[in-house]
Structure 1
Amino acid sequence: MMRVLLATSLLAGVSAGSLRAEEAFDLDALVAAAKQEKPINIYDSTGKIVEMAENFSNKYGLKVTGMKVSANSQLEMIIRESQSSNVQGDVVLITDAPAALAQLLPEGFVENYLPGDMASKIPEEFQDPLAISTNANVWAYNTEAYDKCPVSNIWELTETKWKGKVALVDPLTKGTYTDWFNQLETHGNDKVAAAYKAHFGKDLETSEKSAAAAWIKALAQNAPLATDGDDPVAEAVGAAGQKEPFIGLLSSAKFRDNGDKGYKLGVCADLDPWVGWTYIKLGLIASKTKSPNTAKLFVHYILTEEGITPQMKDGKIPTNTDIKVPDDEPSGLAKVADKLLGYRSATGLDDFDRREEWQDFWRVNYKK
């Protein structure tokens, strides 16, 4: 992935070109220009975007509407809107980074913009394309049923004791899961092999092409509960009153169910070699938006603590390193952030290209 610190110029009166992020950034001028433009819509896969858009509108006196749209629908809508020159979604906040890298950016449907005053705050690997947050899926257990997480190594999840007692979102329905498989093999294979040796006391011998593939196969063959979303996983793991609850892999956002639904979710904080993995949410601007300055202003806003706070409550970690995750974030993710397999977008195109291959691999090996 390109790592040039470049922000595409979308300022009114400036033709399509580029603006270096480190150049002077004039927020007042951007606000003034935005006030001359029409209202915009924001696409995001979380309902929190409604609150974020309302906060932005109240702050700047501009009309912005937040719309909850799934990542898959976002892709289709952005492409069709651009092709018909009828843009409805002016800013897209999308968690399907590989698809954006493969389908949206190369075709010019969207453009990358990094506000100049954020260049020193956003790590380079999150700048082009711009990631506004990293999101996490973590292994969880039921704190009512267990004093601590009952597994300490990912290979335990492939053993008979946990046959039919591991829950996760069906990898055939969510691209981030097959992306995780590919990231696991590409960037974490040695640690998967080391975890095998640590648990079984011997080197891994497998006919599969990698230690990661061997673990994924073993997990699939251990009859996990593959669900259509994170809610069923959260219930299977965290619902109160269970004698033998599931171990589960789910979004850190679901830990709010501890308060909302009385669940007993806890993070497997000492799981070897990772407690979970991350994926990123990109913030991109529709190339044919008729309100480019308002779109730029919104991107700037969500890179600030005020702008991103509603999503931090769901365990989203801002890429702006000046912003700290609140102490009362339900999952306690900040305490285990260094134990997550971090997403590397440098190999995002390979993640996208190999999705079907990993889906087939899971499909062939999955046992109910």
Structure 2
Amino acid sequence: MTADAVIACGGSSSRMGRNKLLADIGGVSCIRRTCMAFDSVTAINKIIISAPQEHRKEYECAIGQLNKEIVFVQSGASRQESVINAVKKSDADIVVVHDGARPLVSSETIEKSICDAKKYGSSVTCVPAKDTIRYDDGEKSYVPDRSDLYIVQTPQSFLRQVYLKAAQAAVMHEKDYTDDAQLVEAIGVKPHITMGEYSNIKLTTSEDLACAEALLDSMHGRTPRSCMPRIGHGYDVHRFSADRKLVLGGVQIPHDMGLLGHSDADVLTHALMDALLGAAALGDIGGMFPDSDARFEGISSTVLLKEVMKTLRSNGYELQNCDVTVIAQRPKLMPYIQQMRQTLSNAMGVDTTRVSVKATTEEGLGFTGRGEGIAAHAVAIIY
């Protein structure tokens, strides 16, 4: 059975005081971190995001490049309407509905939710209530048995046809549910409780951001001491070749010559990758992507950069910021700097404010000054 992710991103973030989906959590935007979790799940075909049209461009930039197809749909006047709009764009057997503001959801939780939806027709992710809860409506006041109470989370997964039938009934009876499982339960489909994780918090207020950062550190096994910054330096140089395209920072630059190399010879990105690997003491790109390996012949260096970032993150590291200087007598690179920054930040899954690119010359001196090639230095700080 196939499955699509439906990410609800139509909220106003009024209690946060700013757009929480663009908030930085461990160097990655909230919305990208959420999408990355679903991108890592094999069972997910595509990710459908329900969001206001006016935020689409900034969300696209914040999400950057992922492996799976990303589809945007217009959000509605309510959460229910927003989710229905997205579900209608799916052609999968199962829809996995998730709050965009739950960036710490694990792939394991998503996989369990899908598995239970296949088995039971619906799945609502919950965790047992830890706190004592008092009910008080002004007339009655009592404490319900905590052992029977669950805190409802997302993802919530459903057979798509079941969800659409429930949505049609809700619209017909003018019902507006804030919880997707409620909507399905209204047509007699009892939601199966799938155990979630307490770390899968929803960002609502500014205090939640601090909690998310702390949880992220804990999930990666980072302590205050281990969070000390680590610095790496990278250097690379490539000579010009008349039969090659010139690619720098993932951007093709119009020029009469390109750079010679086994891959696309993107000297800027190569220096950056070495800086990242060096900061983590994980070797260099020569060891990770040897030029004797035919798989890397002609490959885009931004593809390799994504692999470097995966390696860093699997070792518990995140990028704080990086600074790259390209040394080239020609061509003029200033018109392409911002595009390079955006391309590199997309590949690394970080905000552009964490990526600096500069260009300079050696005033006609040396290898680059004679126009024989291009060099690049990079410094990266990780934590």
Q: TM-score, normalised by structure 2?
A: 0.21
Higher helix share: 1
Query: Which structure has the higher relative contact order (CA within 8 Å, separation 6+)?
Result: 1
| Larger Rg over CA atoms | 2
Name the one with the larger strand percent: 2
